[in-house]
Chains A and B, each alone.
Chain A
């Protein structure tokens, strides 16, 4: 069987399933093996199951996944009716499981490189405008590290770093139409009104220090409110990607510690803005607030 080699979240993946959204690399020693295997014994219900070191789940009509020890994804595609959607789950939930198992803090949000050293992360509810914000930054000349999932690791000094994910962002039809020729874009499987936009040219390949985390919210006025204390913790812990994975893996303590570390070590603010607001004001605020030397 053909093996494909990819890099995602600073990990080398060796996969016998093709993943068109990931960054292709030369064959080399892999951190994570993705392999097709019969998992019919795990197709019991539609729930997510797990225990320390392991998560498994069956998405009916799509795929069954068994994710182990932060280094193996077994995938059963025997009942797959939509390969594109299986790939979405593989690069989303399954890879997200790997990141949790490897002890990274995984947030539901995207990361934008401000310069050669630092990045900011945007989190927020679905529809808060995370991906359109990423797109606006990309079009303004900034490099993106990730769309949707941001994986954070702390070094020995307690500095938070965000990993480069993969070079594509997902946009809703209306946002995609504004800036791109729709005919040239790939729809995301069943969601015909959401499209992949390739970001290869503006993809940041190296990890960056987390400078700030911004919680995006729709509102009437353009406003930035610093978040602190219990409130900061409360808002940030709601941004964890697939929190039940943390629970199933029994990693609540580490997740708790990492959230408090992140909240204490970086600027964390809520950004409220009208949804039809120009992105330029937001870009200015984020890049000029306390920063200098943003890439152009």
Chain B
């Protein structure tokens, strides 16, 4: 399967068969299907927390900019890269 690059309009949601747990501000998760474990640092965990409901990349970036001191361009670039990684690892899926 070839994954399209995500853009600001892309809407993303968490894959359903994941179990996640917050540990001291970081997140660990288990992919029930593959049996693989994943770990996220504190920043990644903030982003993950905001993905409880299906959300567009643009909305996510707005929310982060309201909370953290970061310019729009840097935020969009870093967040998109991170989300792309999550999609490629099967932790998020694109909402059609």
Partners in one complex: yes
Please report A residues at the B interface, Cβ cutoff 8 Å: 228-230, 232-234, 237, 247, 252-253, 256-257, 260, 263-264
Contact of A230 among B19, B32, B35, B40 (CB under 8 A): B40
Interface size on B, residues (CB 8 A): 15
- The distance in angstroms between the C-alpha atoms of A256 and B35, with both chains bound, is 10
CB atoms of A260 and B21 under 8 A apart: yes
Interface stretch among B8-16, B22-30, B50-58? B22-30
Q: A256-B21, A257-B19 are in contact. List 15 more A-B contacts (CB 8 A).
A: A228-B26, A229-B25, A229-B39, A230-B39, A230-B41, A233-B23, A234-B37, A237-B37, A252-B35, A253-B30, A253-B32, A256-B28, A256-B30, A256-B37, A260-B21
Q: Give A13 Cβ to nearest chain B Cβ, in Å.
A: 31
CB-defined contacts of B24 to chain A, threshold 8 Å: 228-229, 232
CB-defined contacts of A253 to chain B, threshold 8 Å: 19, 30, 32
- The distance in angstroms between the C-alpha atoms of A179 and B26, with both chains bound, is 45
Please report B residues at the A interface, Cβ cutoff 8 Å: 19, 21, 23-28, 30, 32, 35, 37, 39-41
CB atoms of B23 and A260 under 8 A apart: yes
Closest residue of B by beta carbon distance from A264: B23
- The distance in angstroms between the C-alpha atoms of A256 and B39, with both chains bound, is 13
Q: Is the interface of A mostly helix, strand, loop or mixed?
A: helix
Q: Give B73 Cβ to nearest chain A Cβ, in Å.
A: 29
CB atoms of A230 and B30 under 8 A apart: no
Q: Give B33 Cβ to nearest chain A Cβ, in Å.
A: 10
CB-defined contacts of B32 to chain A, threshold 8 Å: 252-253
- The distance in angstroms between the C-alpha atoms of A252 and B21, with both chains bound, is 14
Closest residue of A by beta carbon distance from B23: A229
- The distance in angstroms between the C-alpha atoms of A216 and B27, with both chains bound, is 25
Q: Give B9 Cβ to nearest chain A Cβ, in Å.
A: 31
Q: Lowest 10 A-B CB distances belong to which pairs?
A: A230-B39, A229-B26, A260-B21, A256-B30, A229-B24, A228-B24, A233-B28, A230-B26, A229-B23, A230-B28
Q: Give A263 Cβ to nearest chain B Cβ, in Å.
A: 6
